[in-house]
Amino acid sequence: MRKYDIAIIGAGAAGISCALACKQKNPNKTIIILEQNDRIGKKILKTGNGKCNLGNVHLYETSYYNWNYIQNKMKQFDVIKYFKKMGIMTKQDEQGRLYPYSETAASIVDILRYELERQEIIVQCSFMVTNIIKDKNFIIQGMQDSIEAEKIVVATGSLAQEKTNGYQLLERLGHHITPLSPRLVPIKVEEKVKPLQGIRVKCLAKANGFQEYGEILFKETGLSGILALNLSRYVNKKDEIILDFAPEKSFLELKEYIKGLENRDLSMMLRGLLPKMLILDILKKADTIETIANMIKNYRLTVKDLYGYEFAQITRGGVDMAEIKEDFASKIIKNLYIVGEVLDVDGECGGYNLMFAWMSGSIVGENI
Ligand SMILES: Cc1cc2nc3c(=O)[nH]c(=O)nc-3n(C[C@H](O)[C@H](O)[C@H](O)COP(=O)(O)OP(=O)(O)OC[C@H]3O[C@@H](n4cnc5c(N)ncnc54)[C@H](O)[C@@H]3O)c2cc1C
């Protein structure tokens, strides 16, 4: 059986950053990455609409679920410096989102692949790990082959637009997986919104204590757009979402404005405020100045469900963070490390999920 010092399962952002950091610090260690797909970094290619939103300069408590467990390491991680050290120049947009200067995700995967080759890290693609046995060392079993490693890093990612048995592998080793669900995903609503399909509108969205200003895109059966994706991290079935389509105006100001339009066709005049189909929808449901103004400020929708993993950017849930040390070592199994999205950590839109993957991967790589 082939034997390595370190085996990393998963050649995504977390697994690759772990391998590179580890080899840099320990050039004499033998490292192998096992990847079930026929090539590395497949998900990275999809990120940021193909532009790879690889990080963000802003960091808030609300940026991550389970922030308490990761805040110290996240605050220390300088993502711009991290890429600069790798020779990758980044650019920043007005929201602090970071992209490679080339604005192409493929360039990031190309450079990561080149760095893996340059540092002579073995990458075995089309190797799906089916079981891990902890003996004195770890025996990592695949469909055709098994390998042995002294230390292992599980970086198997999540169910969002991918298949993985990473959760089961870790459960069999004694870890607990918190409930899994798709997030950063469009939201299905109970109300009929088909007439509004295709409308993009800026609004303040509120639900379960969360509130954010941004753009909503109405879909045939629900809501999409970055704002809806971020909302999906805070809502579940039956929850109420309130959209304020005129957050800069108070209810009274809005009422006065509508009052001033008396004797004119509101379905025409209010088009200066909101898209035509939205106005028609509101006027169908409200017929007094008061109720119209109220509906513009408090447009209520009820969550029917979230769309599935095939539309999701991330998975909520994963390995229970109470079982993970601050350096991402397992508290349950010695010499096992767990990084990236397979953990019960998730971030909002804007580069936070990749940033966590780079950070957790490189922390383990440096300390393993
Ligand atoms: C459409 C889309 C757009 C996104 N856009 C952004 C964005 O712009 N910015 C951002 O920050 N985040 C974005 N994300 C989220 C981000 O891509 C992930 O959070 C991040 O890639 C997670 O990194 P990871 O290394 O933990 O997992 P992954 O990148 O998923 O890597 C895990 C790897 O493990 C492999 N694997 C799984 N199981 C096994 C097994 N048993 N054996 C061998 N290999 C296995 C998988 O094939 C995969 O290659 C997006 C996600 C999607 C789906």
300 & 330 share domain: no
pTM assigned to the model: 0.96
Tell me: the pLDDT tens digits for 198-249? 999 999 999 999 999 999 999 999 999 999 999 999 999 999 999 999 999 9
18 & 150 share domain: yes
pLDDT at 297: 98
For ligand 1, atom 53, the nearest C-alpha belongs to 313
272 & 357 share domain: no
Q: State both tokens at 352.
A: 């936070």
Ligand 1 centroid from CA 157, angstroms: 5
For position 228, which CATH number holds?
Answer: 2.40.30.10
273 & 351 share domain: no
For ligand 1, atom 9, the nearest C-alpha belongs to 351
Give the number of other Cβ atoms within 10 Å of residue 194's Cβ.
10
For position 338, which CATH number holds?
Answer: 3.50.50.60
**What is the average pLDDT across 38-48?**
98
- Check pLDDT > 90 for residue 33: yes
Q: Taking the CA atoms of the chain, what radius of gyration do you get in angstroms?
A: 24
- Check pLDDT > 90 for residue 144: no
226 & 340 share domain: no
Give the number of other Cβ atoms within 10 Å of residue 80's Cβ.
15
Is residue 294 within 8 Å of residue 175, measured between CB atoms? no
How many folded domains does the chain comprise? 2
**What is the average pLDDT across 152-161?**
98
81 & 154 share domain: yes
pLDDT at 368: 94
Where helices occur in 122-275 by DSSP H, the ranges are 166-172, 226-231, 251-259, 266-269
Determine the atom of ligand 1 nearest the C-alpha atom of 42: 49
360 & 299 share domain: no
Domain that holds residue 337: 2-181+315-367
136 & 202 share domain: no
210 & 171 share domain: no
Ligand 1 centroid from CA 139, angstroms: 24
327 & 343 share domain: yes
Q: Ligand 1, from 226, 354, 358: best to mutate by most atoms within 8 Å of Cβ?
A: 354
Q: Ligand 1, from 8, 16, 43, 70: best to mutate by most atoms within 8 Å of Cβ?
A: 43
pLDDT at 170: 98
Ligand 1 centroid from CA 274, angstroms: 38
19 & 156 share domain: yes
Determine the atom of ligand 1 nearest the C-alpha atom of 56: 11
For ligand 1, atom 41, the nearest C-alpha belongs to 129
166 & 39 share domain: yes
Q: State both tokens at 212.
A: 């954010």
